[in-house]
Every structure is written in structure tokens, then in C-alpha cells.
Amino acid sequence: MRFASFRLFWRAVKSTRHEMGVSLQVLVAATLVLSLLLYLVEHSAQPEVFRNYWDALLWSFMGYIEDPGEFAQYAPVTFWGRVLKIMCAIVNIAIFAVPAGLLGGGFSDAIAEDKRRRELDDYKSRLMKAFRRKQDRYTKYRVVPRYVSPVDIQVLQEIDTKDIIDAVRHSDSFRLRNLASAVPSDRNPHDRLVIETIPVVGQTAYGCCIDRGSSVTIVAPSAAGEVAMGNFAYYTALYGGFNYVSKERDEDSDAPRSYYLVDDDMTAVERRYVDDILRVARGGWVVFVIAADSVHPEAFHFVTAIQPKLNAGTSTVIDRPRFDELYEKLSADMAASYGLGSERDTRYLPVGKKNAAMRIGAGRDCNAFTLRVDWAVAAFDDRYIAIADTLARDIASILTPDRDATPDPSLKSSGFGY
């Protein structure tokens, strides 16, 4: 690599600049004190040489650089002056030795970090191989696994657990999740670490935005925190040819949050998320897909009601007849094909002021509704791809009946990741 050594040296300087600054401050302070003491003990013995404190200070500093101007050609003559001279000589050595030692250590650390970074890049490439698209036995589509166990990666790729975790943490393409979060706590779920990958197309500061020119937009506002839900929403959008917006990254990794609710005081990233939904939705239909806890008998929960206190209408849907038609068709198809039930506006509270649907003008400027999908479907049902395909077909048949029904050739292609 060209100029690699210079880059490593500069990284060493940057990584040790604080320590070097502190050490130099200490050494300069020591010189100031020693100069004062030298003046006090030598002034009476050599008043013509050490006339004032400035002379003593100049004498000390000139000794550090071999006295090019011959300011320090005179030596102390008192006992304590000679002791202080020895101490100044020790500081002289430290002035150069300490920064050199710090730089040497920083350079070694930079080399080790560079080696580790190259190792992690290799591990990340091998991790991606664990997300090779596999053929779904129900639809025959090739799909990215919704998650992969680190144990499987250990067996197939021969990578240690620590290296796997480090590679995930140093990559913006993977994330760690606990599968137990998809199970109600009253069922005493066992912790199980899994790895997810995220789309590489349409990446944004918050996650992903794909504009397919459709009048339907699928939004996954909690993909970063709800295991498998991003995968389910992504394939629903892909199979229907819909636009797709998903929140895949957290601005603060220590405080992850969903973008299903957006505060009044939006950050720049939240504003970009809302603006992207408005841009790709074009006043059409927006479907927010989030998880539903597996505590209700139904697998699909439609939320369209608005809290009455908002005085913003009663529903996030303007075209109620088409929505009712969609609900009836989807409910019938899911029950007949998979034995899954549906309900609307009975299990979950109406949306409030901070709901993302309200931020984009749902019920006034566009049609929007929330579809809560049982975690048991998205995270554990082996028919989840077929279910996503049925969901996409039903939405498309009612909301975009004039769309091109030709299957996307990429659905049967092999490869790695989204």
C-alpha cells in the first residue's frame, strides 16, 4: 500500500497526542521550577551570569538544544547548582525520550490495529457467506436468511465467537440480536444470540430507502430492534414491487429506539426519515410494518384509528372502501392458506400525535395504516416468505391493480445478502 507507513505514523501521533501533551507539560513545569531554584542558589555566587530568573530559564532551555547561541556556556559553581544541573540533564533526556517512547508505543499499536482491521475485513467477508440466498421451499424464491446463529458460522466458517462479535460490531452490514426478545416474557424464553444483515442498496443515515416508483410504500420503523421484522417487511415490499423505507441504524447505540414514534423536536436523521417517506409515498398508501407480541390469537393486527383528542379525524385511511376490501381479502387468504387470524382496531390503541403516520399527514394527505405482524410469524414460522408473498399479492391486487405482475427475475437468483 502506498504511503501506508506514513498513515500509520500519523495515526500513532494522533492516538498519543494527549499523552505527549501531558508529558511535555509536566517536563516544562519541571524546567520552570528547576530554573527558579537554580537562580536562587547561583545568583549570589555568579551575579553576572545568573542576573535574573530569565537568565536561569534561558540557561536551562538552551541546554536542551545544545546551546547553539552559546547562552549557556557557563556552568553552576555551587554544590546545589551542580545538583540542579544534573536534574536539568535528566529532564533533557526525558524531553526527547518520553515522546519517542510514546510514539513508538503508538506506532506499534497502530500496526496491531491495522492488522486487526484487515482481519476483521476478512471475517466480514466470510460472515456475508453465511447469508447466501437459499431457496424457500414454499415459493421457490431465493431469500436471505432472516438471521444466522453464530454457532453455524463457527462451524461453517471456522471463526471464533469473539472474532464474530468483533466483526459484527465493526461493520454497518450486520447486527447482533437476542431471539428471546421475540418471545413473550411470561413464556420464560431462553437467550439465543443471532446475527442479522441489512440491505446494502438505498442506504441512508437511518437505514434504507428504495424508491420503486410505486403508489404503495412499506415502512419498517423498528427493523433495527425487532428481530426478523426487517427481513419480513423487505420481502413484502420486494414481492409487491413497493417502495421500501426501513430504520436499520440507531443514532445512539446505547439508547436504541423505534421510529414508529417521532418526537416533536426531530433530529436531522429523523427529519430525513420522515421526508423520505413523504418523497417516495407521493400521497399514496403507506403501510407501517411492526411486530406484535404473541399474546393475542390473531397474527395480523390492523391499526387505523386516531386518538379522538387529536381532533384530526377518526382514521388514518382516506379511501375506506378500498381498505375494507383489502382487509377482507387478506383476512380470508391468511385464514384459508395458513390458519392465521386478523383483526382491526381492537387489540391496540389508536395512533397518537407522535405516530409517524400522523407526521406524514395520514388521513388527510395520504392513506396509511399500521400492520402489526405476530413475532411468531416473522421470526419463527418457516412459511414466513410465503406469508410475505401472499401479503404482497393481496396489497398489490387491491391498491395497485394496474401494476406489472411479471415476477422480478432477482427472486430466483443466487448471491449473498440483500
CATH assignment, 201-403: 3.40.630.100
- The confidence score (pLDDT) of residue 394 equals 95
DSSP 337-351: HH---EEESSSSPPB
pLDDT at site 377: 95
Q: Which residue has the higher pLDDT, 141 or 255?
A: 141
Higher-scoring residue by pLDDT: 365, 5: 365
* Mean residue pLDDT across the chain: 86
CA distances from 103 to 21, 94, 98, 117 (A): 12, 14, 9, 20
Bridge partner list, 148: 195
pLDDT at 66 over 70: no
Query: 230, 360, 386: which is closest to 285 by C-alpha?
Result: 360
State the span(s) of the chain assigned CATH 3.40.630.100.
201-403
Return the pLDDT at 159.
85
> How many CA within 13 A on the CB side of residue 281?
25
E strands, 66-179, where?
134-135, 142-143, 174-178
Q: Crossing angle for the helix pair 79-129 and 4-42, nearest 10 degrees?
A: 160
Say yes or no to pLDDT of 226 above 70: yes
Residue appearing with cell numbers 411479471: 406
Q: Reduce the DSSP state of residue 407 to 3 states and report it.
A: coil
Tens of pLDDT, residue by residue over 304-349, are 999 998 888 899 999 999 999 999 999 999 999 999 999 999 999 9
**pLDDT at residue 146 tops 90:** yes
| Residues comprising the chain, all counted | 418
Residues of the chain with CATH 1.10.287.70: 4-126
Q: What is the pLDDT of residue 54?
A: 76
* Sole residue written with cell 407522535: 354
- CB distance 124 to 164 below 8 Å: no
User: What is the rounded CA–CA span in Å between residue 313 and residue 330?
Assistant: 25
Given this model, what pLDDT does residue 288 score? Answer: 98
Residue the block writes with cell 422480478: 408
The CATH architecture one would assign to domain 4-126 is Orthogonal Bundle (1.10)
What pLDDT, on the 0 to 100 scale, is given for residue 385? 96
pLDDT score, position 351:
94
pLDDT in tens, 70-125: 555 667 778 887 777 777 777 766 766 677 676 767 667 777 777 888 888 888 88
> Exposed/middle/buried for 57, CB within 10 Å: 0-12, 13-18, 19+?
middle
In this structure, of 40-49, 124-133, 394-403, the range with the lowest mean pLDDT score is: 40-49
For the cut 60, the answer to whether the pLDDT of residue 67 exceeds it is: no
Report pLDDT for 243: 96
* Banded model confidence at residue 209, pLDDT cuts 50, 70, 90: very high
- Residue 290 pLDDT grade (very low, low, confident, very high; cuts 50, 70, 90): very high
Give the count of beta carbons closer than 10 Å to the beta carbon of residue 1: 7
